[in-house]
Amino acid sequence: MDAVAIASWGLGILLALMTLLFIFRIVLTWYPQTDLNRFPFNLIAIPTEPFLAPSRKIVPPLGGVDITPIIWVGIFSLLREVLLGQQGLLRIMF
């Protein structure tokens, strides 16, 4: 395997993992009493909060529902498709 293949493989795993974490974060919003600072939940909150905190300043909650995790799932899914999809930039270039 060359360096580009390894990099695209690693990038694919990273983007998929972040998408999965944001999906878990969406599920956690259904349970507002959940303490995100406790052990199993902080594994989801710590990597996603740096993306969500600035986004919440731009996109306010709609009807009391925080939609920023949904936006980030879309962004990461789009990035994964544009870069690594069947017609993705990294596949076309290399």
Q: What would the pLDDT profile of 15-50 be if each residue is shown by its tens digit?
A: 999 999 999 999 998 888 989 899 999 999 999 999
Q: What is the pLDDT of residue 7?
A: 83
Query: In angstroms, rounded to a whole number, what is the distance separating the alpha carbons of residues 1 and 59?
Result: 42
Q: What is the pLDDT of residue 92?
A: 80
**Contact in structure between 69 and 18 (CB atoms under 8 Å):** no
- Classified as helix, coil or strand, 67 is coil
